[in-house]
Structure 1
């Protein structure tokens, strides 16, 4: 009798696990600090690659991107250095500031893994100052034809600086967006990646987004609402400034503000079809160390268990903001894709990947359509194409290469690219 009971309990437990299996989507929002115009792009793109390779977002939302050239550089780096399945939405210029300054070099954009999402549409929501960019992504689920799940993604960058006049602009921009969203059903899912430039949650513009009378009401998944400016009690959600030096550009006041957010629509809380994972909201690079207050993110005062010096130093060098991240889950199954072939079995660098004059690569020629490897620079430009020989070992002369990082891809095989650094 006991064995039958145990068997029934086993099948109940098994059924429960099947019913509530989850797929996880990793999202990141990042202020790119005038990329690529702020600093020489070739010198800091490696820092961004280190950051993205460490987190590997499925959805990467950005603001303060200058131009199409910069967007293409980021995409090429992500495809060749991290995941060949990344693509980006259509790059469009901001139009809202035409009547104010015509500065027009602060753009928003998203990059995404096309095995997880397809881009259904995109819209520019104009305001009195800067555009909000609205993207509609469809999850690539097994049941997408009969039960499509759409994720609305809003990316924005509100005007900087404090004071009454700027607060009024913030509030008007917020109202422009909520007016636009008033045409949407409250059942739709929204993710909002934004550099708010709010110094406190009591500011009218922030409260406008949280207004429960709106069709789309946003919530803070971190649940850290308050007056965060220069308040070390909120150090765990601080995202700016990473720096105490003016030499790299951007703000130099040290770690003292929560400007960067990912908000969600309130229906993404405790909703198994699409919801944020409780406890997953993080400021990437922030070790929640109270000693970090007013210090540079790469200093010993900001050390901790979650983010080591290498990551924090890359964040410090790339931008005066930290990215924010969150996990989104669904009980729907995503379409499966072929995994990368492991480098150790098919494709590998022999010896160190710090190269002076010779690069040695082992490249399995089987299947036979793998006939050559291509070497790319960080901009995605082909530097050299080398045929694979019968011995499966290549020796490539790199003496004429510039000192920088490179990628090696093998044609016709789904293998993650290799990386090497050329030095004197």
Structure 2
């Protein structure tokens, strides 16, 4: 299943500017612990806001989102805690077990800095249990027309629990992904992030991902391959569990497992046009101390003099999820378009609010758009409504007949980035 974003989503900007010789992209993956249905900890979205503001990723990849309401909560949090230009990919409920099971309340999603990335395509790779969500991105660089720089970001959540049966299910899910990856050019830039739920690198699922026989071979950026489960030798890459206290939701076993990963395609380690920054891989909030083994992440045993991650941050992490986020950085010699160029349309036309019920309120800061057409597109790129603009500075449009979901707004005569909004009836 593919969702193509039409050509108008490609950003055609008036001016380009060269700022630096090298650009950096910060990536974070996070298991959100059944957000928002898991409510044992009140107002934990505030904990997420602190975490995001502390790291400020450019790409924020998540699993265990329950519903569109939670997706919008997180979307608004990225905009306030990281950058107002953050956008989210299309929210799609899990398709893999539509006829059985209870996995339709566990979704993956991507949030991204729209000044740096444009979504070209969204793809679902189904399995017997949960989807792999694939996001085909293009970097918004000054030479994007003549030399496009592309990145495939894949988010997943493999089958949980120990035992040979569950390990086999994880392996079968990975085989479904490999079948899709075989359709891509072998030099494609790919990130694979998720809660893998693997207990050791000898599991078939993990070995298959790293196999040199694949069309696209993945590598573990920190190169910490081994038998992780309850093994203090790997405490520096542990990501679960942040808690020993009961009654908060999630697992309470203390810090003893490496379940969360970001893998890169082999070429991204040194030969691609966007590459992994050496030594940038971190489990965010993990100070790498053996004394933290089987403790809660906000324990004094998880910090020492000079530790990078403070008690305040670790307490927010402890309260929000039983997993820690995983982060890394990428770099490219290409140059991003400047924020000023990217936002050139925002001074001309803007929305009163990006989450609406029945009425779309548009602020127009020029009279030159009078009699131009305002076009509304759905997430598949289809034009679903067109309205004429008048000379008023604030204009109202009835969209009560449109279904709930994600939409884009553009003006026929303006060659600028479309404005995203959500209808939530």
TM above 0.5, yes or no, is yes
Structure 1 residue 272 displacement after superposition: 5.8
Alignment-derived partner of residue 388 in structure 1: none
User: Over aligned residue pairs, what C-alpha RMSD do you find?
Assistant: 2.2
Q: Deviations over 1:376-414 (max 9, x none)?
A: 9xx999xxxxxxxxxxxxxxxxxxxxxxxxxxxxxxxxx
| CA 1:232–1:380: 2 relative to 1, 3 Å | farther
- 1:56-75 alignment, distance < 5 Å: 56-75=56-75
Cα deviation, 1:108-137, whole Å, max 9, x if unaligned, reads 000000011011110110011110000011
Q: Which residue of the partner structure matches residue 182 of structure 1?
A: 182
Q: How does 1:7-406 map to 2 (within 5 A)?
A: 21-39=21-39, 43-271=43-271, 273-304=273-304, 305-338=307-340
Q: CA deviation at 1:41?
A: 8.1
2-side partners of 1:44 and 1:200: how far apart? 31
| SS of equivalent to 2:44 | helix
Give the alignment's TM-score, normalised by structure 2.
Answer: 0.74
For residues 254 and 308 of structure 1, what CA distance do their matches in structure 2 show?
18
Gaps in structure 2 of 5+ consecutive residues: 1-17, 342-346, 358-425
CA contact (8 A) 2:103 2:129 kept: no
Range with greater deviation from structure 2 (71-80 or 158-167):
71-80
SS of 2:177's equivalent? helix
SS of 1:104 mapped into structure 2: helix
For the 8 Å contact 2:236–2:286, the answer to whether it is kept is: yes
Change (3 A) 1:280 1:28: same
Name the structure, 1 or 2, with higher relative contact order (CA <8 Å, separation 6+): 2
Deviation at 1:42, TM superposition (A): 6.1
Q: Distance in 1 between matches of 2:48 and 2:229?
A: 27
**Hey, what's the Cα distance between the residues in 1 that align with 2:272 and 2:197?**
32
Q: Distance in 1 between matches of 2:176 and 2:103?
A: 21
- By how many angstroms is 1:246 displaced? 1.7
Q: C-alpha separation between the residues in 1 aligned to 2:255 and 2:153?
A: 28
1: distance between equivalents of 2:21 and 2:207? 36
Residues 201-230 of structure 1, C-alpha deviation per residue, up to 9 Å, x if partnerless? 000111111111111111000100000100
Query: Which string of whole-angstrom CA distances, capped at 9 and with x for unpartnered residues, describes residues 49-83 of structure 1?
Result: 00000000000000011111001011112213331
Change (3 A) 1:40 1:72: farther
Give me the whole-angstrom Cα distance separating, in 1, the residues matched to 2:149 and 2:101. Answer: 39
The 4+ residue runs of structure 1 with deviation greater than 6 A are: none
Q: CA deviation at 1:337?
A: 1.1
**Computing the radius of gyration over CA atoms, which structure comes out larger, 1 or 2?**
1
CA distance in 2, matches of 1:213, 1:264: 16
Q: Aligned equivalents of 1:71 and 1:120: distance in 2?
A: 21
Q: C-alpha separation between the residues in 2 aligned to 1:197 and 1:103? A: 16
Deviates more, 1:254-263 or 1:299-308: 299-308
CA contact (8 A) 2:157 2:196 kept: yes
Report how many residues are paired. 328
| 8 Å Cα contact 1:210-1:218 kept in structure 2 | yes
Q: Distance in 2 between matches of 1:71 and 1:252?
A: 25
Aligned with 1:43: secondary structure? coil
For the Cα contact (< 8 Å) 1:272–1:329, is it kept in 2? no
* 2:67–2:105 contact (8 Å) kept in structure 1: yes
SS state of the match for residue 174, structure 1? helix
Change (3 A) 1:50 1:314: same
For 1:248-277, what per-residue CA distance to the aligned partner results, in whole angstroms no more than 9, with x for missing partners? 110000000000000000010112621000
Which 5+ residue runs of structure 1 have no aligned equivalent? 1-17, 340-368, 382-424
TM-score w.r.t. structure 1 length?
Answer: 0.74
In 2: Cα distance, 1:164 partner to 1:313 partner: 35
272 and 103 in structure 1: CA distance in 2 versus 1, 3 angstrom threshold: closer
